[in-house]
Chain A
Amino acid sequence: MSYKIPIGPYHPALEEPYKLDLICEDEIILDAKLHIGFNFRGIEHLAETRNYVQVIALMERVCGICSNIHTLTLCQSMEKLLEVTPPPRALYIRVIMAELERLHSHVLWAGVAGKLMGFKTMFMTCFALREKVMDILQAISGNRVNYAMNRIGGVNRDIADPAAILTMLNNLEREITRKVIPVFTTSSTALSRCAGIGVLTKEKAISCGTVGPTARASGLPEDIRRAAPYAAYEELDFNVPVETGGDVRARLLVRALEILESCKILRQALAKLPPGELCAEIEDIVFPTDTAISRVEAPRGEVIYSVSWEEDSDNPSRVHVRTPTYANMPSVRWMVLGARLSDAPLIQASIDPCYSCTDR
């Protein structure tokens, strides 16, 4: 006899509110249905009532983890509309902020995964490491969540202490290599919770339109930083980790390896950081009647912004945001099919979901 187990919208297994209805027979999941919208704020419609300064502050609040990515993608769209190119130093600072954001997001996720596996010590280790990244972000921007770094034509603040970032990177890389990766890849408890669990095949990953580490863990080598480089990524050397297992272990491994790649990118960006201005000189900001689209590789995958403006208007006529969790979340239904009920919390968490982004 089958029965329905509702998880959420408010549940200890979920980091944010959403609802997963699991249809089970004994311990096995036969089907799943997802319900979102518990964080719906109508931000896209609200954006149409904000001018080009206010809209940056508004869109930064779409997400509490990848706030910087949202302003970066929005500013890139507005720069396309205005045909403005930020100076080289600003482009490198954008890379530095984006990779620091990826670091703290991925390390946070590793901690959450540790907690869901029953590794409380790993949770504490990862959150202690993440704290150091947050300290750097605070030192740069004065804030730990909404950094207000991006503006049309460049950035608002400089990198005052590159040496502090390098020290943090050395420590983080050492801890990830010596502690986090070995525990997640060799401990029998981690393997039993991750290996072969929550598989998303490559074919299903394509048909669901998955992006980011979730897609890369199913063998799709997609990364906007490589496919359509923005900021200064074209001038930096990095690998795009790809795994073919499609299971929780593969998603974990891809993110762990991406932490190391982010460290590599950050070292290069700091070494190559060119001198010069932080923002392009713009005499008068007058938007034409047009639409511009920009894509960025956020920690969870591709973010796309489509921004439209009417000439002589203070406010955008449309701001559309497609976030990575929005693309990845429907694939959870396929990941949990045939899985044990007890694995469902870890499987749904393995896409590193963000419902603030998804619901907007």
Chain B
Amino acid sequence: MNAIMNNLEDLPEQLGVTDPWVEKGGVLWLVSDTLNVRVLATTMNARHARFVTITAFELPDGEGIRLEYHWDLDGQLLGFTFLVSDTPIESIFDLCEAADWIEREIHEYYAIDFQGRDYEPLFLQAGDKLGVNLREEDE
């Protein structure tokens, strides 16, 4: 873990944030309100980190959707969170082709528009109602 931390020490500064890394359950998290997703993707590319996935999570009481972006750097799983409520989020698909399917999936599951990209159906069929995971049990 120490060797990995040495490698990651300057990353927050490079991303323009002052928040520290927080280790939880084997994942190193960087949580900051000022994080920019496209700067993050560019920085991860420069470090040859492997894009893993984005997890979307619907917050209770209509507070929006939390997006957790994950990259693997030398075997260490990194996590970065973004809140999508009134603030939209930009697509990283043009910077990180591995994010294509998961952005399309989240678009279909949670009706989120990642700005700056087009969508083709992934799991749903053209014209199907978006927001599969937002449906209630009796819908």
Contacts and interface: CB of A to CB of B under 8 A. Distances in A.
B50 A206 contact: yes
A293 B123 contact: no
Interface stretch (B11-19, B31-39, B98-106): B98-106
Interface string A294-337: 01000000101010101000000110101000110110000000
B97 A293 contact: no
Nearest to A320: B55
Interface stretch (B82-90, B111-119, B131-139): B131-139
Contacts of A228: 26, 75-77
A202 to B, nearest CB: 10
Given A37-B122, A206-B48, A45 B135 contact: yes
A276 interface: no
Given A37-B122, A42-B132, A45-B132, A330 B26 contact: no
Contact of B98 (A42, A45, A48, A209): A209
A44 B133 contact: yes
Contacts of B72: 222, 227
B51 A306 contact: no
A45 B137 CA distance: 9
A45 B133 contact: yes
Where chain A touches its partner, the secondary structure class is mixed
A165 B26 CA distance: 33
A209 B52 contact: yes
B57 A318 contact: yes
A357 B11 CA distance: 34
B123 A36 contact: yes
A306 B52 CA distance: 12
A215 B27 CA distance: 22
Interface residues of A, number: 37
A148 interface: no
B135 A291 contact: no
Contacts of A329: 101
Nearest to B51: A209
Interface in A134-172: none
Contacts of A207: 96-98
Contacts of A227: 72, 74-76
A292 B75 CA distance: 18
Nearest to A48: B133
A359 B123 contact: yes
A326 B97 CA distance: 13
Contacts of A359: 123
Most chain B CB atoms below 10 A, which of A37, A293, A302, A310: A293
Interface in A262-284: none
A29 B75 CA distance: 35
B57 A322 contact: no
B60 interface: yes
Contacts of A80: 25-26
B124 A37 contact: yes
A132 to B, nearest CB: 34
B131 to A, nearest CB: 10
Contact of B102 (A45, A306, A322): A322
Contacts of A7: none
A329 B104 CA distance: 15
B115 to A, nearest CB: 21
B124 to A, nearest CB: 7
Contacts of B109: 44-45
Given A207-B97, A318-B58, A320-B56, 19 more contacts: A37-B125, A42-B132, A44-B133, A45-B109, A222-B50, A222-B75, A227-B75, A227-B76, A228-B75, A293-B25, A293-B27, A293-B70, A293-B77, A306-B68, A320-B53, A322-B102, A326-B102, A327-B52, A330-B98
Interface of B: 25-27, 48, 50-53, 55-58, 60, 68, 70, 72, 74-77, 79, 96-98, 100-102, 109, 121-125, 132-133, 135, 137
20 contacts: A36-B123, A44-B109, A49-B137, A207-B97, A207-B98, A208-B98, A209-B52, A227-B72, A227-B76, A228-B26, A228-B76, A228-B77, A304-B70, A306-B68, A318-B58, A320-B56, A322-B102, A326-B102, A329-B101, A330-B98
**Nearest 9 A-B pairs (CB), nearest first?**
A227-B75, A209-B98, A37-B123, A322-B53, A40-B123, A320-B55, A306-B55, A209-B51, A80-B25
